[in-house]
Amino acid sequence: MYGSNISLVAGRCEQMAPETEQPFGIRFLMWWSLLTGVWAILGLVVFSTHPLFLSKYAFPETDARRVASIVLGLSFIPLFWGIRRRLAVAWKFGWFLLVVSFSWTLADVLESIRKQPDYGGWIALAMVTIGFSFVWGNWGRWWYRQKKYFSKAGL
């Protein structure tokens, strides 16, 4: 129903989370997830074009890598929907996306560092991995605290 926080889904009424009950971080993540999904859709539209930024230290842009990137981006749309509906499965799916996103980025960064001349050897790779682990841990703690936002059914 327009203008209310009740919607009709599959012939039954569902309560949506009012914007005032959403913490700022959850609201930001919800809209950021939608933006990421839209960005992935735009990636589908311009699949045949070249990336805006080419680096000799980055992974080569292959079709398989591009498809995987678009699939990862599109997977943020169900997260948006789940946060919007306060679905318990969204909290679990958020863990999956957190691990995959950080793993993907860490692999990119480590490979990029490894390709650079005089990159510092294993110490540089270890420091980047430790730094990413701290960031992942921080985001993981934050996401764990958001569990109470989602409905109790299914957790």
Over the stretch 101-136, which tens digit does the pLDDT of each residue have?
999 889 888 888 888 778 778 888 899 999 999 999
In a domain, 3, yes or no: no
99 Cα distance to chain centroid: 9
Positions of the chain with pLDDT under 50: 1-3
In a domain, 98, yes or no: yes
In a domain, 6, yes or no: no
- Number of structural domains, the chain? 1
> DSSP letters of 136-152?
HHHHHHHHHHGGGGS-S
Residue 46 is predicted with a pLDDT of 65
2 Cα distance to chain centroid: 29
In a domain, 50, yes or no: yes
Q: Identify the domain containing residue 76 by its residue range.
A: 22-149
Helix axis angle for 121-145 and 88-115, nearest 10°, is: 170
In a domain, 7, yes or no: no
Residue 64 is predicted with a pLDDT of 80
In a domain, 17, yes or no: no
In a domain, 55, yes or no: yes
C-beta atoms surrounding 29 within 10 Å: 20
Residue 7 is predicted with a pLDDT of 56
d(CA 93, CA 89): 6
Would you give the DSSP letter of residue 51?
P
In a domain, 95, yes or no: yes
d(CA 105, CA 109): 6
d(CA 16, CA 144): 21
Which of 59, 73, 133 has the alpha carbon at shortest distance from 101?
73
